[in-house]
Amino acid sequence: MIRRLVGGLGELLITAGALVLLFVAWQLWWTDVVAERDQERIVQALADDFASGGTGLPPEVADAYPDLDEDAAFAIVRVPRFGEDYARPVIEGTGRPVLELGVGHYDGSADPGEVGNFAIAGHRTTYGRPFHTIDALREGDRVIIETRPEVFVYEIESSEIVRPWETQVIQPVPDDPGAAPEEALITMTSCHPKYSATHRYVTHGRLVETVPREQWRLEDWNDVTGPRVSPEA
């Protein structure tokens, strides 16, 4: 009897272990596959819209993502350090549905190119992990934000690691709550360390160039000093 019970318990533990492994595989691999496909689709729709001077995502794309508010996807972020072809959609908000489909824009933070702090967040693991290698960014690296009328080029200046509740990093003047902004800044945030959420890795930069859409050429800004780092690395 005891032997039979032990054998049954062993089988249950093996089954439970297999289910855990399947869940981990789904969480760390399959969500990336699905999210990257969705994010590429949204980026392409945005790029086509910007090129044509349109007014938003085509209905067939917008309807495919009912969790997104109308016109929620409004920009494309490119980071040359993450690869020549790296591009992710920027979507208003930082809730779970948004971060599963791209990079989220903190509600109430500045718009691209605006004086203040354009603050964005992205997953470091799962769901396409757009900021997986955020810690590889170096001083002077460019972060490019494409919008319909203009393209904004920021340069990275500094990074820091904070606790999740230390939201002063996304204030209009980072780490100086209450101060009035005088420059157009950018802040990128993601979980830290990888595969954990105990801290946040935060990178700050400032606007160095604004280029009208009709004059924009990605190749003029897509160079980096040193090796590129794939966001999937």
105, 132, 191, 192: which one is catalytic?
191
Using a pLDDT cut of 90, give the percent of the chain over it: 57
Residue 19 has pLDDT above 50, yes or no: no
Amino acid identity at 180 = A
Residue 27 has pLDDT above 60, yes or no: no
- Position 17 scores a pLDDT of 43
- Position with higher pLDDT, 35 vs 9: 35
Band the pLDDT of 20: cuts 50, 70, 90: very low
Active-site residue 199, yes or no? no
Cβ-based neighbour number of residue 169 at 10 Å: 18
Q: Which of 93, 122, 88 is nearest to 106 (CA)?
A: 93
Residue 14 has pLDDT above 90, yes or no: no
pTM: 0.84
- Position with higher pLDDT, 24 vs 224: 224
CA distance 72 to 70: 5
- Position with higher pLDDT, 55 vs 118: 118
- Position 32 scores a pLDDT of 64
All structural domains of the chain, each given as residue ranges with its CATH number in brackets, are: 2-220 (2.40.260.10)
What is the average pLDDT value for the chain, to the nearest integer?
85
Distances in Å between the alpha carbon of 94 and those of 29, 102, 177? Answer: 22, 10, 21
Model pLDDT for residues 121-142, shown as the tens digit of each residue: 999 988 888 999 999 999 999 9
User: Following DSSP, what letter does each residue of 17-75 receive, concatenated?
Assistant: HHHHHHHHHIIIIIHHHHHHHHHHHHHHHHHHHHHHT-SSS-HHHHTT-TTSPTT-EEE
105, 123, 132, 192: which one is catalytic?
123
CA distance 77 to 146: 6
Active-site residue 105, yes or no? no
